[in-house]
Amino acid sequence: MPDILDRITINPNQCGGRPCIRGMRIRVIDVLELLAAGQTPAEILVEFPYLQAEDITACLRYAARRLDHPTLAA
């Protein structure tokens, strides 16, 4: 089974090089902001019918991995 993060693509010629979903012009941050605003995954899928539930999961995992890094105290 391929890693769910394979759904996240980064192309320097698309959306300013920001992470997108499966090469589409839907940025990871767009999905995260909709979730933060209170939309449910089901509502997002209705609004963007070309997305899949796994795309939303991939966005959340991508964000979690980007934030999971050590901070060194000086």
* Nearest CA-CA partner of 10 in 2, 21, 1: 21
* Nearest CA-CA partner of 56 in 47, 67, 44: 44
Buried b (16+ CB within 10 A) or exposed e, 31-68: beebbeeeeebeebbeebeebeeebbebbeebbeeeee
Domains detected in the chain:
4-65 (1.10.10.10)
Q: For 4-22, write each residue's pLDDT tens digit.
A: 779 999 999 999 999 999 9
Q: How many residues does the chain have?
A: 74
CA–CA distance, 47 with 73 (Å, rounded to integer) = 43
Tell me the average pLDDT of the chain: 91
**pTM reported for the whole predicted model:** 0.85
